[in-house]
Amino acid sequence: MQNPQTLTIAVSKGRIYKDSMPLLAAAGIEPLDDPDQSRKLIIPTTREDVRLVIIRATDVPTYVEYGAADLGIAGKDVLMESDADSLYEPLDLNIACCRLMTALPEQASHRQGCLRVATKYAKTARWFYAKKGIKAEIIKLYGSMELAPLVGLADCIVDVVDTGNTLKANGLYADELIAHISSRMIVNQASMKLKYNAIHDLLDKVATACQKPAA
């Protein structure tokens, strides 16, 4: 049976996993399997009382809100879009940094009427255009947003931008900044009370590691 004091940390594969593991290592937590090599979804670590669950980035807030994971590592873009509203967000890890932006075709034709916006960030886009008083039809997509203006599906897109190379390669340019994005440590509210010492110790060690310049 699982020790009731075991900490479960939810994390997604890819950029966030790669950048967050050196930070968790500062708290003595190193995965014993590589999720890219293994099909296991629960990964034990060098600390017997800590395990990782490997899930989709957009599912991380849900696992943490319901307490299936005590902690999670999620991008601010995912948190803004999530309906999980009872999470603690105590630590900005300053990793996987990028910007959530609107982007337009370089040769945009003059728009009349309702703006059509393609994005996987439907909730955030709706909020952004409403705040600006712009009437927008939000078209929800699950990937390759850059294609939408090129084939007449949308006038513009809302997406995360790092170097801007993907936009450029598709004849688009970044226009308005919606939010600066980085990954955050999130914590389940009940876990924060019930596992207070273990969670605080982990957050302290990770926070110290975040402040150190990369070796």
**Binding stretches for ligand AMP (CB under 6 A):** 15, 75, 96, 98, 159-166, 181
Give kind and range of the element (H or E) at residue 154: none
Please tell me the distance from the alpha carbon of residue 137 to that of residue 118, in angstroms, as a whole number. 9
CB of 179 to ligand AMP, least distance (A): 12
Q: Among residues 69, 4, 81, 66, which one has the least CA distance to residue 43?
A: 69
Q: Which two tokens stand for residue 16?
A: 């966030």
Question: By C-beta, is 141 or 160 nearer to ligand AMP?
Answer: 160
CB of 97 to ligand AMP, least distance (A): 6
Question: By C-beta, is 172 or 198 nearer to ligand AMP?
Answer: 172
Please tell me the distance from the alpha carbon of residue 58 to that of residue 5, in angstroms, as a whole number. 26
Q: Among residues 48, 53, 47, 20, which one has the least CA distance to residue 35?
A: 53
CB of 32 to ligand AMP, least distance (A): 26
Question: By C-beta, is 120 or 195 nearer to ligand AMP?
Answer: 120
Burial state string for 47-75 with b = 16 or more CB within 10 A and e = fewer than 16: beebbbbbbebebbbbbbbeeebbbbbbb
CB of 26 to ligand AMP, least distance (A): 21
CB of 64 to ligand AMP, least distance (A): 18
Question: By C-beta, is 161 or 185 nearer to ligand AMP?
Answer: 161
Question: By C-beta, is 9 or 78 nearer to ligand AMP?
Answer: 78
